[in-house]
Amino acid sequence: MTFKVDFLTLLAFLGTFQGILFAVVFWMKNKNISNKLFSLFLLATSIRIAKNVFVHLQELNPGMFQSMEVWRTAVYAGISHQFAIGPLLLFYFRSKLDSKFEWKRSHYFHFIPYFVLIVVTPFINWNFWRYGGLWLSYISILTYFLLTIRCYINGRTNVDGKNVNWLKGLLIVIGVLLFAYSPALFHYIGYVGGAILYAIIVLVSGYYLFVQKDSLSIFRTKYETSSLKQEKVSEIRTALEAEIENSHPYLNPELTLQVLAGSIGVPAHHLSRVINQEFKMSFTDYINSFRLKEAEKRLLDPRNKHLKIAALAFECGFNSVPTFNTFFKKTHRKTPTQFRSEANRSESV
């Protein structure tokens, strides 16, 4: 029997193979938590896409697999990886955007559906996936994708421009793949269409990563390749503290790492390093700490009794009341309203 394979199927296969190869490279390269999570994300995605390639090959070559039971088990295991893709994406973004991110045992709970399905895969049939399983897997990825977008929006000011662009580009790419693999479009794209799209994305992304490898933190440990010496760190810290003290940039709700770095004349990734290393905070937490101190002073000032909490929050640089309330309560164990009320009662005694 002649084995049939066309150019598009070969391209799709090479794309998934390169995705797996990249996963190995990122796992081996500077074994920090971000690279490990990105490696596992690539691996899970490539396995899921590879499933479609093999299904398409089976359509081209009926009877290619001697044991259909083994083939079906492999296919269902491939689909099960959809329940791992979403959590891995979210935790990868969290590890890139939050300098304090650490892997915790509680994070494994997000992978319970994936672990369960991998174990029971040999004992389930196509009806499970046809009547709800596929929809649940797609909803899982879509939900985590939306959570990742929120994570990116809240934390993008913590990283420099090129890494922001990398994360933003990754979100766009994943959004395109989600659209291509949506149940509504599958009838038109088929098994191999999405795999070809994935192959093109992997090839283009690989080229981009190679070109930008010296500036993207995905290729280095946290401060590896940084030429900052301690004297320069001290110089940047002094300039930063002077800028904070004299100009109060934290009162600007639109303040970003790039803007603050430009105001003191240093690269954004250098400033990010200094804040993380010297103050043990992310950029967002560092800036919000000054906003919080300003809010405390204004809440205690009798002249501001007429101001609503929302107005006061915006004046202090917070761009949303929920963010202000959350940050304030985390620090003081009470809401701004409770803080103000207690202060007023102390004055009247």
Alpha helix stretches (DSSP H) within 181-267: 183-211, 230-247, 257-264
Q: Is pLDDT of 189 > 80?
A: no
Instruction: Return d(Cα 26, Cα 219) in angstroms, integer.
Output: 8
**Last residue of one domain, picked from the residues 280, 300, 324:** 280
DSSP 308: -
Bigger pLDDT: 5 or 143?
Answer: 143
Average pLDDT over residues 43-47: 90
**Cβ atoms 15, 199 nearer than 8 A:** yes
Under the banding of pLDDT at 50, 70 and 90, the label for residue 215 is: very low
Between 215 and 26, where is the model more confident?
Answer: 26
Q: Measure the CA–CA gap between 300 and 66, rounded to whole angstroms.
A: 78
Taking a C-beta distance cutoff of 8 angstroms, is the pair 255, 72 a contact?
no
Given a cut of 90, whether residue 8 has pLDDT beyond it is no
**Looking at residue 349, what is its pLDDT?**
47
pLDDT > 90? residue 71:
no
- Domain boundary among the residues 170, 197, 219 is at 219
* Cα Rg of the chain (Å, integer): 25
Residue with tokens 């391209």: 11
Contact 99, 282 (CB under 8 A): yes
Establish how many alpha carbons lie within 13 A of residue 276's alpha carbon, considering only the half-sphere containing its beta carbon.
18
Indicate whether 220 pLDDT > 60. Answer: no
How many structural domains comprise the chain? 3
Identify the band that residue 348 occupies on the pLDDT scale cut at 50, 70 and 90.
Answer: low
Same domain? For 166 and 51 the reply is: yes
At which of 280, 301, 319 does a domain end? 280
For tokens 């761009």, name the residue. 319
The torsion angles phi and psi of 255, rounded to 5 degrees, stand at: -65, 135
**Pair 140, 83: CB distance under 8 Å:** yes
Contact between residue 125 and residue 74 where contact means Cβ atoms under 8 Å apart: no
Note whether residue 168 is domain-resident: yes
DSSP secondary structure letter of residue 159: S
Tell whether 275 and 193 lie within a shared domain: no
- At residue 234, the pLDDT reads 87
Give me 191's structure tokens. Answer: 């098994």
| 4-8, 137-141, 335-339: which is most confident | 137-141
| Most confident option among 138-147, 197-206, 218-227, 280-289 | 138-147
If you average pLDDT over residues 296-302, what whole number do you get? 86
Q: What does the mean pLDDT of the chain come to?
A: 82
Q: Count the Cβ atoms, other than its own, within 10 Å of residue 153.
A: 10
202, part of any domain: yes
Within this chain, do residues 78 and 143 fall inside the same structural domain, yes or no? yes
CATH (domain of 326): 1.10.10.60
Q: How far is CA 347 from CA 22, 77, 296, in A?
A: 64, 66, 15
Q: Classify residue 224 by its DSSP letter.
A: T
CA atoms within 13 A on the CB side of 324: 24
Query: pLDDT tens-digit profile of 26-37?
Result: 787 766 788 889
Residue 1 belongs to some domain of the structure? no
Across 245-271, average pLDDT: 89
Residues of the domain holding 266? 226-280
Mean pLDDT for 297-304 is 85
Pair 188, 318 in one domain:
no
Banded model confidence at residue 109, pLDDT cuts 50, 70, 90:
very high
Q: Is the pLDDT of residue 186 over 90?
A: no
Mean pLDDT of 324-338: 86
Mean per-residue pLDDT for 340-344?
Answer: 78
Residue 2 falls within a domain, yes or no?
Answer: no
Same domain, 45 and 127: yes
Task: Output the 3-class SS for 76-102.
Answer: HHHHHCHHHHHHHHHHHHHHHHCCCCC
Task: Identify the residue with better confidence: 202 or 101.
Answer: 101
- 95 and 235 in one domain? no
In this predicted model, what pLDDT tens digit does every residue of 81-99 receive, in sequence order?
999 999 999 999 998 888 7
Residue 208 lies in a domain: yes
Q: Where are the beta strands (DSSP E) in 113-246?
A: none
Lowest mean pLDDT among 72-86, 93-107, 166-180, 196-210: 196-210
pLDDT for the residue 227: 54
Residue 201 is predicted with a pLDDT of: 78
Residues 67/122, Cβ–Cβ less than 8 Å: no
- CB 54 within 8 Å of CB 85: no
- Looking at the fold, whether 242 and 254 belong to one and the same domain comes out as yes
User: Coil, strand, or helix at residue 349?
Assistant: coil
Judged against a pLDDT cut of 60, whether residue 72 lies above it is answered with yes
At 149, the pLDDT band (50, 70, 90 cuts) reads very high
Give the span between the Cα atoms of 9 and 46, in whole angstroms. Answer: 15
Q: What is the pTM of this model?
A: 0.66
